[in-house]
Structure 1
Amino acid sequence: MKLVVQVKLLPTPEQAAALEATLHVCNAAAGHASQTAFQRKVFARTALQKLLYAEMKGRGLSAQPALHVIRKTADAYIALHAQIRAGLLGQEDSAARARATSKPVSFRPDAAQPFDDRCLSWQMDARTVSIWTVRGRHKDVAFTGEPSQLETLAEHRKGESDLVCRNGKWLLLATCDVPETPLNGSPTDWIGVDRGIVNLATTSDGDNHQGRGLQRYRRRMAAVRAQLQAKETKSAKRKLKRRARREARYAAHVNHKIAKTIVADAQRTGRGIALEDLQGIRDRVRLMRHQRATLSSWPFHQLGEFVAYKACRAGVPVQLVDAAYTSQTCPRCGHVSRKNRPCRDDFCCVVCGLAGPADFIAAVNVRARARTAWAFVNAPDAAASPSPSQGQS
């Protein structure tokens, strides 16, 4: 499976200036290539390369960087056209779609630039890289990172690496091809996971990963965001973007920790993980006005993706089950009713009297549905009974 490992570069002032100049030159060339592609209506990689390769070389780029600039431009238009086809930019007459298609794709001066092994070489023992720049090749550019990530980088790096400047820090994002652990095809049982807002994840084992800390953080960020939006200055808008990235990183960090814990429990006990299929949940539920922003910004999908890829690395099977009525169904008698859930936190069956936390009951029902689905999928085919005409001569 493909993973991205991030390492931090520690360049000298001279090396940092060369890296900055390289990004500026490459992105200026990409902007020119984008404008030419937009005017000529040429978006395919091969056609764009034939059209612009000589011109890119004339801008001071070597052969491989010139090709990467052209490919980066073509890929940007491929992504834009894919978004249009998927309807992510609205209907044909929408304002968002008109803005996206009325002008060329632009590139920031410090946008990421890809490098292949001809432009970037790694010396893992010395913890340095040798990288091409517009001011010549710079060797012995030091880098550092987490020990586990450096180990993955040394053993499994394969493919391109992206040079990124983020808040004055230089980073390299390297692609690694990590072999997958053989999938556990016969799990002993399943861990049901119920995802929510108050409790980010509740498992059928009774583990509860609360989201109150993340809620408080988001409320505080919302108040700060409202103050900055009221100013309507350029500096306020820049600060809004920085805070949005910080909030996204914090939410991702929380989800990573939860996913790591769940997958570790499943791997240690030889079980699989069952998740609710929440695809399209925003279209299925009706919310009060004050709840809309909370649900729309909650990273349900991200937590599911983190669990899925970590489970894939660990060889743990993951199964999606129907989420309908999991918090209103009694796992003992099977009675389904809204009255079984008198409030958000509690469950009490009106038939058999089973009571408990609503999220835990939902996780138990998710586990039960995973057991049923797994048994059905893996059941041997029933022998076909002979028809009345068979066996007759």
Structure 2
Amino acid sequence: MQVKLVPDAAQASAIERTLHAANEAANRVSADTFAHCGLKASVKELRSRCYGELKDAGFGAQAAQHVIKRVADAYTTLRANIKAGNLGAPKSKRRRKAESKPVRFRPDAAHTFDDRCLSWNYDAQTVSIWTLDGRIKNVPFACSPDALKQLTEHRQGESDLVERDGKLYLVATIDIDEPEPFEPVGWIGVDRGITNLATTSDADNHSGRRLERYRRWRARKKAELQAKRTRSAKQLLKKRARHEARHATHINHKISKNVVAVAQRTGRGLALEQLDGIRERVTVRRDQRARQSSWPFHQLGSFIAYKARRAGVPYLEVDPAYTSQRCPRCGHTERANRPDRDRFQCRRCGLAGPADVVAAVNIAKRAATAWVFVDMPDPVPA
């Protein structure tokens, strides 16, 4: 849950200085870690090497521990990504670059505060936060009434302080119990795509021409700014990129909320296709490459997944193989069943319709089959 801090000038100066100092300290700890331990950094070893230095720099005990843990967690994540192959082969440029230098933290990167460093007053909508200039009390925060209610009832554990575009935010962890999923009377398949961001087996398309015009306009403006190659153009590009990311998140939230609401109202489950590795697996035309890479399809799927869990709607991901080429009526699968991007026409039985809707229907059918095996009780040993 994200809330916006509304400090006065003195409070903002102290909080920003603390955040920047914490990230500078994390960079020093990271450089020392890389020089002496390489990528194999543990919290215990970092604590023995750097705790005293952080205390001498003015950090309290808990703040110093959080700086050390952030650095250790960053190296743990880096090792996991290397092991999983997310940074490429051993000799790839991206992997060699990641392994050749210490992890760096941006000056405005998120820093962790626990309940010893940060306390909340929900009635007054203020927080008390530790800084290098001492404890600062009565720092106002702003959020919606629904967000405040969730914070009051479900906030747990640590919160992150982050700065974006000169504004300060607190990202709090909330722990909400998930209801048990109900037994679905059917399934809604959701096919994600480039032209239609989401198409359901009920033939509901979520995107529309207005969004497509907006994305084309953004692409033209981006190209114009990139051609200038000036410092101000680069700054404006970064600002526009953040604006576009927020717009995409807003659209994905609207789509996922609509899809989950329909499933909950009709007592059906939701099924999506697995999109792991889609950029390496799927080839598209040159004019669609940027569009495929720019839209956060994985984010849309994650939004649908967590909203479904909160509503108690059953959720499954199924194998996407041949969902756009398989006939949902007779089962005939052939590339020629899809003569172009928008149309499906079975070469055997003649079934025809929008290709995205046919794919969504196939996804729903696969989910119904998979749910039978998910719901089956474990065999009783003899």
**Which of 171, 181, 199 is the equivalent residue of 2:169?**
171
Taking the aligned partners of 1:47 and 1:203, their CA distance within structure 2 comes to: 52
Structure 2 equivalent of residue 43 of structure 1: 41
Matches within 5 A, 1:198-277: 198-277=195-274
Matches within 5 A, 1:1-393: 5-41=1-37, 43-184=41-182, 186-378=183-375
Residue 354 of structure 1, CA deviation: 2.6
Taking the aligned partners of 1:359 and 1:58, their CA distance within structure 2 comes to: 62
What TM-score, normalized by structure 1, do the two folds share?
A: 0.90
Letter in 2 for 1:246: H
Residue 377 of structure 1, CA deviation: 4.5
Q: What SS does structure 2 have at the residue aligned with 1:137?
A: strand
Shift in alpha-carbon separation, 1:376–1:101, aligned structure 2, 3 A: closer
Q: Would you say how many aligned residue pairs link Structure 1 and Structure 2? A: 379
Between stretches 16-25 and 224-233, larger displacement belongs to 224-233
What TM-score, normalized by structure 2, do the two folds share?
A: 0.92
Between stretches 80-89 and 141-150, larger displacement belongs to 80-89
Paired residues of 1:197 and 1:211 also in contact (CA < 8 A): no
Paired residues of 1:187 and 1:270 also in contact (CA < 8 A): yes
Letter in 1 for 2:317: L
Shift in alpha-carbon separation, 1:382–1:315, aligned structure 2, 3 A: closer
Letter in 2 for 1:219: R
Residue 380 of structure 1, CA deviation: 7.5
Residue 313 of structure 1, CA deviation: 1.1
Shift in alpha-carbon separation, 1:94–1:322, aligned structure 2, 3 A: closer
Shift in alpha-carbon separation, 1:109–1:324, aligned structure 2, 3 A: closer
Taking the aligned partners of 1:99 and 1:380, their CA distance within structure 2 comes to: 49
Shift in alpha-carbon separation, 1:71–1:357, aligned structure 2, 3 A: same
Residue 164 of structure 1, CA deviation: 1.1
Structure 1: gaps of 5 or more residues: 384-393
Paired residues of 1:214 and 1:251 also in contact (CA < 8 A): no
Paired residues of 1:199 and 1:209 also in contact (CA < 8 A): yes
Q: Quote the RMSD (CA, aligned, Å).
A: 2.2
Letter in 2 for 1:350: R
Between stretches 156-165 and 96-105, larger displacement belongs to 96-105
Between stretches 359-368 and 231-240, larger displacement belongs to 231-240
Between stretches 193-202 and 218-227, larger displacement belongs to 218-227
Taking the aligned partners of 1:101 and 1:369, their CA distance within structure 2 comes to: 42
CA deviations over 1:48-94 (Å, ceiling 9, x no partner): 01111111010011111111111112222222222222222233333
